[in-house]
Amino acid sequence: MAALSPALLISTLVVLVATATTAQCRPQKHHGQASKTAFAPLATVHAICSTTPHPASCLASAAVHLDAATAHLLASSITVPLLPANILSVALASLRGALSAVSSLSPVLSSTLSAPSSSTTPLRRGAAQDCLELHDATLSSLSRSASLLASPGEGLPSVRAHLSAALTNKATCLEGLAGASGPRMDGLLASLDDAYEHVSNSLSLVARSGGGGSAASFQATVAKIIHHNRRLLQ
């Protein structure tokens, strides 16, 4: 992810807050309780992002995606948010940032892992294909998470499970890449870290609510998703 300066992030968020505030001054029709979902104020966005593992990535996602996330909430049929309204809107923005960042990895992964190795330590056999398939599984998990989070119902435990599985996919990919080197490998590893910062932030945000099932049930759901992903590799 290209680094954005704090000044640019702040100015972008200020514009989004002003735009959303103007929109909320207009009457909202046919949205019921959803019209009460307020855009997170700038100070609140900073406070929420400051408690995530990667605050700069959280602010970057908010600067690009928060206005769209709030507009979706206002127009949706959500009546009882799964999370406090401000956290829910930032979490949705973070998920959209994760989808965008991980999607942008697709050509990087394909070109780097399919290129003939010019390093003294090549990839383990099958590691490249495993990473590509795990990457597809992560994109599916992120897309499913965004859909669940933005829909009515108690889907929060499944969102957490899918995001946890996505982080496991990254760890499994890195295990396969361990020891490999080359002119493109350092850039690929850096891109992986940058993209998955958004995934880690998203999991941190949706994990703030303690409800939604037992720990055993959550672990079982994560294990089921990971088992499915590993079967794809066999």
Sign of the dihedral through C-alpha 152, 153, 154, 155 = negative
Whether residue 56 contacts residue 200, with contact meaning beta carbons closer than 8 Å, is answered with no
Most confident range, picked from 11-20, 119-128, 170-179: 170-179
Instruction: Answer whether residue 8 shows pLDDT above 80.
Output: no
**What fold does the segment set 53-61+83-232 form as a domain?**
Butyryl-CoA Dehydrogenase, subunit A; domain 3 (1.20.140)
User: What does the mean pLDDT of the chain come to?
Assistant: 74
Model confidence, pTM: 0.73
62 to 2, 23, 26, 193: CA distances (angstroms): 15, 18, 23, 19
The predicted structure's pLDDT at residue 4: 53
**Range in 40-44, 138-142, 185-189 the model is least confident about:** 40-44
36 vs 221, residue with greater confidence: 221
Instruction: Answer whether residue 231 shows pLDDT above 60.
Output: no
**Planar angle of CA 25, 40, 201, nearest 5 degrees:** 150
What residue type is assigned to position 129 of the chain? Q
The predicted structure's pLDDT at residue 118: 52
- Which tokens in the block code for residue 64? 């690009």
Q: Residues 44-58: what's their mean pLDDT?
A: 93
Instruction: Answer whether residue 113 shows pLDDT above 90.
Output: no
> What residue spans define the domains of the chain?
53-61+83-232
